[in-house]
């Protein structure tokens, strides 16, 4: 409640994890500031959660969108504790640490010591059958090539080719990093995706030396004070035993307890800024059914192309239009263990573009995550679609499933009939940060601060696509938007 007895009204546009965490942390900001907020979350889908979508079926926990998160990124762990669902967290199967890369139709173990595709241990790298001797020697030139003095952003592909050569880039780094962005590395901004690569070059004169140094520093540093139980601290990835939807359920519950409202199945189509004046809300958000929501603050957490439509009447949105989105799909297949015929010794494999398969990666889900399937079943998740190869996403179900089965037959020898197959298409779902993204986003946000105090943009389109990055942005957005509202 403000001094004039009114509530602080916020509209959060977008009900994905960025929007829900913005809304949740707005309730926390209100508590901290001793004020009362009224929050409305708007989303046109028939369900809340955006990309997060867990299917619980026949004892399986099937993720149709994201499936886990990097444990070292703490905002999501903090959120789990804030919501009281920390006991639901689970780690990967310690016996399934191995991952593979497909090369000339055969699976090769990833050489130990790779950090984001960069070798940090020379012997396993020298021995790997994934690269030619020429490719390995070219990578070693990284130790002697001078560091670039340029300050400008560049593409990840340009940088990696410059430092470790195209073979390491194409055969190892690209398929690994593509798992995060499904992107074309020659277009992806280095500054906005892997700034630590450039930092390693700048400080150590070599990407390999720099990556090795930060790995050693990480190992030597006392374990970060973590609230997580010891067992979970050893897992690089974490998720929730009953699926990531657990987090959505807890957020929805906390928001409804805090009196927040939602408009699910409705879309924000525009917003208006009003002249400052007695009795007038600073902003009004118009929904597609004609409802108008009065707002003191607005947090926009939609994909960039939707945010551009909403912001275009107010400010230049070139930075948002420049973010291209790639469509992907995943094909999940369940099998009976008894007739499957294969024991997995790892968590799956990734596929370089040059292999020409339909699938870009395959997770051996039931081996990587023990909670995901009943003991007598096997669950596989295959990924298709990446920048430059998106048409495959729209193949009819039967054709797509057959293409995927052909690949796993050829690579793994799997001939068993699946018990069921679940196909999920995620159109325009993977934002590709273009070169210069960081500067362009900062300029856009500076304009918002100056011209529309209380309006903010956050989410996967801006400062990181990972779930923890989205939650961090939601928390920051809540604080920034509330600061502006509280100043009025």
Ligand X SMILES: Cc1cc2nc3c(=O)[nH]c(=O)nc-3n(C[C@H](O)[C@H](O)[C@H](O)COP(=O)(O)OP(=O)(O)OC[C@H]3O[C@@H](n4cnc5c(N)ncnc54)[C@H](O)[C@@H]3O)c2cc1C
Binding site for ligand X (CB under 6 A): 13-19, 42-45, 50-52, 65-69, 267-268, 301-303, 306, 328, 426, 429-430, 459-460, 465-467, 470
Minimum separation from the CB atom of position 284 to ligand X (A): 14
Burial of residue 34, with CB atoms counted within 10 A of its CB: 0-12 exposed, 13-18 middle, 19 or more buried: exposed
Asked if 181 and 430 count as a contact pair (C-beta separation under 8 A), the reply is: yes
From first CA to last CA, the distance across the chain in angstroms is 13
Q: List the beta strands (DSSP E) in 14-105.
A: 37-43, 54-57, 60-63, 69-70, 89-91, 98-103
Q: Residue 47 or 227: which CB sits closer to ligand X?
A: 47
Helices (H), 312-383: 318-321, 337-340, 365-368
Q: What is the DSSP letter of 224?
A: P
Smallest distance, ligand X to C-beta of residue 105, A: 26
Alpha helices in 234-273 (DSSP H): 245-257
- Whether the CB-CB separation of 12 and 42 falls below 8 Å is answered with yes
- Nearer Cβ to ligand X, position 79 or 467? 467
User: CB of 47: closest distance to ligand X in angstroms?
Assistant: 9
Nearer to ligand X, 17 or 481 (CB): 17
Q: How far is the CB of 43 from ligand X (least distance, A)?
A: 4
Nearer to ligand X, 29 or 67 (CB): 67
Count of all residues that appear for the chain in the document: 488
Minimum distance of ligand X from residue 279's CB (angstroms): 27
- Give the nearer residue to ligand X in terms of CB position, either 50 or 454: 50
Of 99, 130, 103, nearest in space to 116 by CA: 99
Q: Phi and psi of 246, rounded to 5°?
A: -50, -40
The CA R_g of the chain, rounded to the nearest whole Å, is 23
Tokens of 146: 């001078």
Residue closer to ligand X, measured from CB, 161 or 246:
246
**Which of 85, 330, 368 shows the shortest CA–CA distance to 227?**
85
Give whichever of 10 and 69 is closer to ligand X, judged by the CB atom: 69
Tell the smallest beta-carbon distance from residue 228 to ligand X (Å): 17
For tokens 């989303």, the residue is 43
- Nearest approach in angstroms of CB 286 to ligand X is 10
The CA-atom distances, in angstroms, between 460 and each of 171, 239, 319 are 27, 19, 14
CA distance 439 to 456: 16
Q: What whole-number distance in Å separates Cα of residue 27 and Cα of residue 29?
A: 5
For ligand X, which is the closer residue by CB, 302 or 358? 302
Residue closer to ligand X, measured from CB, 436 or 466 = 466
Please identify, using beta-carbon distances, which residue of 207 and 467 lies nearer to ligand X.
467
User: CB of residue 50 vs ligand X: minimum separation in angstroms?
Assistant: 2
Q: For residue 309, what are the contacts with CB-CB under 8 A and spacing of at least 6?
A: none
Supply 314's token pair: 């107010």
Instruction: Using alpha carbons only, give the angle 117, 118, 121 rounded to the nearest 5 degrees.
Output: 120
Closest contact distance (angstroms) between CB of 306 and ligand X is 3
Q: How far is the CB of 382 from ligand X (least distance, A)?
A: 12
**Residues 6+ positions from 16 with CB-CB distance below 8 Å:** 43, 49, 50, 51, 52, 301, 459, 460, 470
Exposure class string for 134-153: b at 16+ Cβ within 10 A, else e:
ebbebbbebeeeebeeeeeb
Pure H helices in 119-173: 122-127, 133-140, 156-164, 166-168
Residue 140: CB minimum distance to ligand X, A: 33
């Amino acid at each position: 409640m403000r001094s004039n007895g009114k509530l602080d009204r916020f509209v959060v546009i977008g009900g994905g994890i960025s929007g829900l965490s913005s809304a949740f942390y707005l309730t926390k900001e209100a508590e901290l500031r001793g004020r009362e907020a009224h929050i409305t979350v708007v989303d046109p889908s028939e369900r809340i959660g955006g990309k997060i979508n867990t299917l619980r079926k026949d004892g399986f926990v099937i993720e149709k969108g994201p499936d886990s998160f990097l444990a070292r990124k703490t905002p999501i762990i903090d959120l789990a504790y804030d919501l009281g669902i920390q006991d639901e967290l689970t780690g990967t199967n310690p016996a399934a640490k191995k991952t593979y890369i497909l090369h000339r139709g055969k699976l090769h173990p990833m050489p130990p010591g790779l950090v984001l595709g960069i070798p940090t241990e020379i012997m396993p790298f020298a021995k790997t059958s994934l690269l030619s001797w020429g490719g390995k020697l070219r990578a070693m030139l990284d130790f002697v090539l001078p560091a670039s003095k340029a300050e400008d952003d560049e593409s990840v592909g340009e940088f990696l080719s410059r430092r470790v050569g195209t073979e390491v880039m194409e055969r190892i780094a690209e398929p690994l990093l593509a798992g995060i962005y499904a992107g074309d590395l020659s277009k992806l901004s280095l500054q906005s995706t892997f700034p630590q690569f450039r930092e390693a070059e700048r400080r150590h004169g070599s990407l390999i030396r720099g990556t090795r140094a930060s790995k050693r520093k990480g190992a030597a540093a006392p374990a970060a004070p973590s609230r997580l139980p010891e067992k979970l601290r050893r897992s690089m990835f974490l998720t929730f035993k009953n699926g990531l939807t657990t987090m959505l359920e807890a957020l929805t519950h906390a928001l409804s307890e805090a009196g927040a409202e939602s408009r699910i199945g409705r879309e924000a189509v525009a917003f208006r800024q009003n002249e400052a004046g007695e009795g007038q809300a600073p902003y009004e958000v118009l929904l597609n059914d004609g409802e108008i929501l009065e707002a003191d603050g607005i947090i926009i957490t939609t994909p960039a192309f939707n945010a551009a439509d909403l912001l275009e009447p107010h400010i230049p949105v070139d930075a948002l239009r420049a973010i291209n989105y790639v469509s992907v799909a995943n094909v999940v297949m369940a099998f009976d263990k008894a007739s499957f015929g294969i024991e997995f010794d790892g968590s799956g494999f990734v596929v370089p573009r040059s292999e020409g398969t339909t699938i870009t990666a395959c997770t051996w889900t039931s081996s990587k995550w023990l909670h995901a399937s009943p003991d007598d079943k096997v669950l596989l998740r295959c990924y298709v679609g990446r920048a430059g190869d998106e048409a495959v996403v729209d193949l009819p179900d039967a054709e797509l499933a057959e293409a995927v089965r052909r690949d796993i037959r050829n690579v793994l020898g799997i001939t068993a009939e699946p018990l069921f197959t679940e196909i999920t298409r995620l159109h325009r779902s993977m934002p590709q940060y273009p070169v210069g993204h960081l500067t362009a986003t900062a300029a856009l946000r500076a304009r918002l601060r100056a011209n529309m105090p209380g309006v903010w943009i956050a989410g996967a389109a801006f400062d990181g696509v990972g779930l923890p990055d989205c939650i961090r942005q939601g928390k920051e957005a809540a604080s920034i938007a509330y600061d502006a509202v509280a100043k009025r």
